[in-house]
Amino acid sequence: MRPATTNVKTLKIDGRDLSGRQEETILEVARQNGIFIPRLCEMEGLTDVGACRMCLVEIKGQNRLLPACVTAVEEGMEVTTDSERLQNYRRMILELLFTERNHVCSVCVSNGHCEMQMLAQRLGITHVHFPYRYPKEEVDASHDRFVIDHNRCILCTRCVRVCDEIEGAHTWDITGRGIDAQVITDLNEPWGSSETCTGCGKCVHVCPTGALFEKGRSVAEMLKRRQFLPYLTMMREENE
């Protein structure tokens, strides 16, 4: 056994005895140990916002469900990452997201590589029992190389964060509230005329769905590359 220093916390996740560093989140420790917790807004290297609520877990002795991506590990914590209730709620999130805008996988550039689609398969979603909204959302293809299709945006804000925190451009932001919230470029101008966008494409590659994609990709062709993320944050931390 390791000596219990204040920096190391020992805890149980799904019955397994594990340890993590102080300030590490449940999700990080689970991931290091090969325990799968579904997530949509979390992305390694970006600030965690706890927005999608996909990663909710149960903690013994607490009535409330807590998001694994923003909850720091604590000594003696007993975490359950999978239960009927959690599965139900996770399915509900996906159902709500599928009905919020227009996700027609069969014609989507990300078909087969979409994080939301993969989660839906994994959680065994076969049908959606809420009515669809079918909003009319815009597609902005004004940029030379990229397109944003708001029909497929799930408002995870990964694009906003990567652009601000890694690229430092802060091109993306959120406008509006509630069901009318939208991601925007600059002050809600067409992406193509954005003065801050450096064209780096990081947003495209972190987007979990087919909302952001490269021009010229057709159905199922948009593969996302994320290797740059941990590397970049490592560089950034070293420079600090």
Report, in Å, the least distance between residue 104 CB and ligand SF4. 15
CB nearer to another protein: give 170 or 215.
170
What is the DSSP pairing of strand 78-80 with strand 8-13? parallel
Report, in Å, the least distance between residue 157 CB and ligand SF4. 5
Q: Using alpha carbons only, give the angle 165, 9, 43 rounded to the nearest 5 degrees.
A: 25
- 197 — alpha (psi -120 to 50), left (phi > 0) or beta? beta
Contact partner at residue 93 from ligand FES, another protein, ligand SF4, none, CB < 5 to 8 Å by partner kind: another protein
CB nearer to another protein: give 143 or 161.
161
List the strands of the sheet with 66-67, edge to edge. Answer: 16-21, 8-13, 78-80, 56-59, 66-67
**Binding status of residue 236 toward another protein by CB under 8 A:** no
**Binding status of residue 89 toward another protein by CB under 8 A:** yes
- Contact present, 139 and 192 (Cβ < 8 Å): no
Contact partner at residue 180 from another protein, ligand SF4, ligand FES, none, CB < 5 to 8 Å by partner kind: another protein
| Contacts (CB under 6 A) with ligand FES, residues 64-123 | 67, 69
For residue 132, give the nearest of 110, 100, 105, 107 by alpha carbon: 100
Report, in Å, the least distance between residue 204 CB and another protein. 22
The DSSP secondary structure of 134-190, one letter per residue, reads -----EE--SSSEEEEGGG-----HHHHIIIIII----EEEES-GGG-EEEETTT--
Cα gap 105→160, rounded to integer Å: 24
Helix, strand or coil for residue 18?
Answer: strand
**Binding status of residue 82 toward another protein by CB under 8 A:** no
Report, in Å, the least distance between residue 203 CB and ligand SF4. 6
Report, in Å, the least distance between residue 47 CB and another protein. 10
Cα gap 40→218, rounded to integer Å: 24
Q: Please pick, from the candidates 30, 153, 222, 229, the single residue that binds ligand SF4 as defined by CB under 6 A.
A: 153
What mask of x and - would describe binding to ligand FES in positions 28 to 67, judged by CB under 6 A?
-----------xxxx-------xxxxxx-----------x
Report, in Å, the least distance between residue 171 CB and ligand FES. 22
Can you give the binding site for ligand SF4, defined by CB under 6 A?
Answer: 153-159, 183, 206-209, 211-212
